[in-house]
Amino acid sequence: MSTNNILFSVKDKVALVTGGGLGGIGYSISLALVKNGAKVYIASRDKKKLDESAKQLNSIGPGSCIAIAADLSKQDECKKVAKEISLHDNHLDILVNNSGCNWGEEIETFPDHAWDKVMNLNVKAVFNTTVACLPLLRANATKESPSKVVTIGSIDGIRVPSLETYSYSASKAAVHQLTRTLASRLAGDNITVNAIACGPFYSKMTKATFDKFAEVITSGCPLGRFGNDRDLEGIILFLCSNACNYMTGAILPLEGGILISSNL
């Protein structure tokens, strides 16, 4: 194996990816890790979709996948996931906090429960899942090879969004700040925490918007396209491998240049 392959290797790493069901960014992230030899736990509410995802990922290999059904918007469910992992593995090398939801509606009718739903899953779940997994993340971490936490943010947490997604954009700005705060707190535990500020990636959550506004979205992207699995694989292998042992608290944009053409 070449030096570069070792540097970006996640072979035999143990990972948890929240929201790893088919049709979402979480599945693409899980795919990247499994393809490169990691053992990946995936967790979200939809057991049927999780089981389908795990079956498909296990058929791809060379890594493996285990599904854990849980509602991560609830603190007890976050603890349940960590406990389930601890029954099989005594450590966790990688945690990807990806679970999320969106809500779009005009300002005059934007409902109060949309704030609760989005903030609970997009922000509180990131904190609660990370805290629940701390013993596992600390167990195998060293200064030379820290454990890795990656949070999935959004460019809409940096710029003013083009659509009326008030709770979503606010939640992703909060995710970015929480990433920095956790990075500061957990550095002494040999745990790095970084975020990806994603631009337009086609997924189940974005399907309705993209089907309606695809041309508008791509026209505002200097690279002229949506993100794909390969784009996610590159940044995930970087953030989760020894290539990223000396970076923490960073918010990395993955958005085809949209931010450089936006009025921030």
Cα distances from 180 to residues 150, 171, 196, in angstroms, run: 11, 14, 12
The tokens of 85 are what? Answer: 């992992």
Cα separation, 29 vs 258, in Å, equals 22
Cross-strand partners of 253? 197
Cα separation, 24 vs 22, in Å, equals 6
Would you call 49 exposed, middle or buried from its count of C-beta atoms within 10 A (0-12, 13-18, 19+)? Answer: buried
Residues belonging to the active site: 168
Give Cβ neighbours of residue 60 (< 8 Å, ≥ 6 apart).
Answer: 31, 34, 35
- Long-range CB pairs of 1-9, under 8 A, 24+ apart, other chains included: 6/242, 7/241, 7/242, 7/243, 8/237, 8/238, 8/241, 8/242, 8/243, 9/36, 9/37, 9/241, 9/242
Cα separation, 227 vs 28, in Å, equals 11
The tokens of 101 are what? Answer: 């939801």
Residues in the chain: 264
Q: State the CB neighbour count (10 A cutoff) for residue 39.
A: 20
* H-state helical runs in 225-264: 229-240
